[in-house]
Chain A
Amino acid sequence: MAASSAHQKRRLRGVMLKLVYENHEAQQHRLDDVTLTGVLDRLQFDVYVNLVREILQDLEERGLISFDSEKNRTTGAHAIRKIKITPDGRDIIEKTTSDPAVEVE
């Protein structure tokens, strides 16, 4: 799947939020951008780390997740670690509320 259109981004937001939610429920170590990219890749999404970072930043701006951002001094890239789901994010996955920008199956 080429993740570029608005619909595909809505779908990706939903899947990523769900993965963070499931990880939280399983009480596993918190996710980072590279691991999320790996899992999405295995789920047959055509993604790359920068796209995943963009969507994570988008989800954070919507108040659905929070994370730690770390700047790599060698490459200048901002790595995203310790991704946490917020109560608003959990509500969307549990379908207590909905957000048209986040498509959850």
Chain B
Amino acid sequence: MEPRGEGVELKVLKAKGLLSWALGFFGGGAGITLGYAAIQAVKARPDFLQQLLSGGALWFASLVIGMVIFRRQLEVFNAMQLRHVIAQEKLAQNVGELVTRDDQRAREQDLLLNHLARNSDEILRQLAELRNAHGGE
């Protein structure tokens, strides 16, 4: 039996993957457009470059890029953790089934031995009675 929610979680991951590709596509396009516009603006007014560099825009851009990279890594890490948890659940389930099966087998064996031992006693008792009835032959 599969752990509950595994299929749903994989579907969500797939949908998330498609969405992130779409966002990446649009984000990349917007970045290229902005970069091209910035280059054109710097070409037209070179004095803007100094303002851009001293205004902290580069730091902000680095922070945004860093956050995007961190988010990607976090998603990979989360997916790995999810697989790890599912594998642990399956392992625990299998071990549990194994232990239950062994317990069941031992219990059946126990009951069988008890029954056979009692039957054996009864047979010996009846054999002794038969011998006595036939004059101890």
Contact = CB atoms under 8 A, between A and B. Distances in A.
Interface in A48-79: none
A22 B104 contact: no
A42 B107 contact: no
Contacts, number: 31
Interface in A71-99: none
Interface residues of B, number: 11
Nearest to A74: B1
Nearest to A31: B111
A35 B104 contact: yes
B115 interface: yes
11 contacts: A19-B111, A19-B115, A22-B114, A22-B118, A28-B110, A28-B111, A29-B107, A35-B104, A38-B108, A39-B112, A42-B112
A-B CB proximity, top 9 nearest: A38-B108, A39-B111, A42-B112, A39-B108, A39-B112, A22-B114, A26-B114, A22-B115, A35-B107
